[in-house]
Amino acid sequence: MQKSISIPANEIESLKEKLIEYARENELACILDSNTPYFQNTGNFSYNKYDIIAGFSNKPIHENSISEFIELQEVSPENSEWYLGYLSYDLKNSIESLQSNNSGHLDWPDIFFFTPEVLFLMANGVLTVTIQNECIEHTTLFHRLNSYSISRLTHYTIDLYPRITKNEYLRNVGELQQRIRRGDIYEINFCQEFYNHAEIDPYAVYRIMNESSPSPFSAFFKYNDKFLLSASPERFLKKENSLIISQPMKGTSAKGVTISEDHKLKTRLSDDIKEQAENIMIVDLVRNDLSRIAQRNSVHVEELCGIYTFPHIHQMISTITAQLKTNSFIKIISATFPMGSMTGAPKIEAMKLIEQYESVKRGLYSGAVGYISPEMNFDFNVVIRSLQYNSKKEYLSYMVGGAITALSQAEKEYEECLAKVYGVIRTNKRVHYA
């Protein structure tokens, strides 16, 4: 059952709120929000096809779902199904001979996709709603959505505690730089966790996140009692027919208080040799990854080290494209995942050191959330600027990190981590220092 309706621009925010509320009533929910009004005139995001994709299901989790990497081979155009889901960082162990032995507190499966019973697709102001459950009708569904009374919270207090001390962080960065100087690696993305045992309302928190930090790859994902609340600004990988697009992000700057200060900070980021080096190293890694699945001589750097502005920061982003020689999702992911911007170069050696020096399993952090369409097209973000929450354990996790190179200054890297912690929810987030 499919129905299409036009949504006036002034009603889109209301629709988003209703979709978040509707997630409360479903065991599985995935909401992908491009926040189009904020980024529609930004060239880097011209590849975005949908404004909103939202899928929901109350079927038993084992039905019509993918929970093993090898099961992705069963996804083909003949299925004529939409799949919404994620690839966790620890899926790396199914792709390469790697391990994840650090402690974990969130209990995400390494991979999970589901076929939604109710699917909302919005593009260019037109909303298409598809229902694959004979017990649900469009009229009843919209009546339910319109019945919600949305509480207008504007802030939410969250206390976060560092998993490691500042001294431990600085010492680890120093040891990783020694590895770089002796040639083991060129660059590594080193991350740390801020966490708490607390009860939160993940639906309200996500609503506030998306209002205060609208991002082009925002995502809300619910897997029973586990939640991902993401304000991601970064695309991992998009496939549109034979075209593949990757947009690694490396290089960050705060925004200025005045127009003049803001311009200076953007120029400083654009001219920063260290930030350029970080970005270019990852671009080379992505080019190498894509060359494994691309047609000969088709890998192309469309933009190198472009500067893009978000609500609270400036970012350096590059765009690499290629023409595919395979339509196999599992082959494409095996060649490219995890993304180089969250690992380092060389990728496998960097991931070994990540396991050695980081203190917890990343879970969905630095994984990817997105969709696979019936035509085998897909689009996935990079899970950064994200809260992970296990409501059963009342465990909240927010991980941050940055690229470490020979030119990195450990103190500044730590300050950047703190800036990223504060950057998602702008009000009433308290960080307790060790």
pLDDT tens-digit map of 343-394: 999 999 999 999 999 999 999 999 999 999 999 999 999 999 999 999 999 9
Q: Using 50, 70 and 90 to split pLDDT, how confident is the model at 404?
A: very high
pLDDT tens-digit map of 214-239: 999 999 999 999 999 999 999 999 99
Domain spans of the chain?
A: 2-149+159-431
pLDDT at 411 over 50: yes
Global confidence as pTM: 0.94
Which residues have a Cβ under 8 Å from the Cβ of 133 and sit 6 or more positions away?
117, 118
Residues carrying an active site annotation: 234, 250
| CB half-sphere exposure, 102, CA atoms < 13 A | 22
Per-residue pLDDT at 240: 96
pLDDT tens-digit map of 14-30: 999 999 999 999 999 99
| % of the chain beyond a pLDDT of 90 | 73
Distance (Å, whole) CA 389 – CA 392: 9
pLDDT at 137 over 70: yes
Q: Are 220 and 230 in contact (CB under 8 A)?
A: yes
More confident of the two residues 311 and 40: 311
CATH of 2-149+159-431, one of 3.40.50.300, 3.60.120.10, 3.40.50.1980, 3.30.420.10: 3.60.120.10
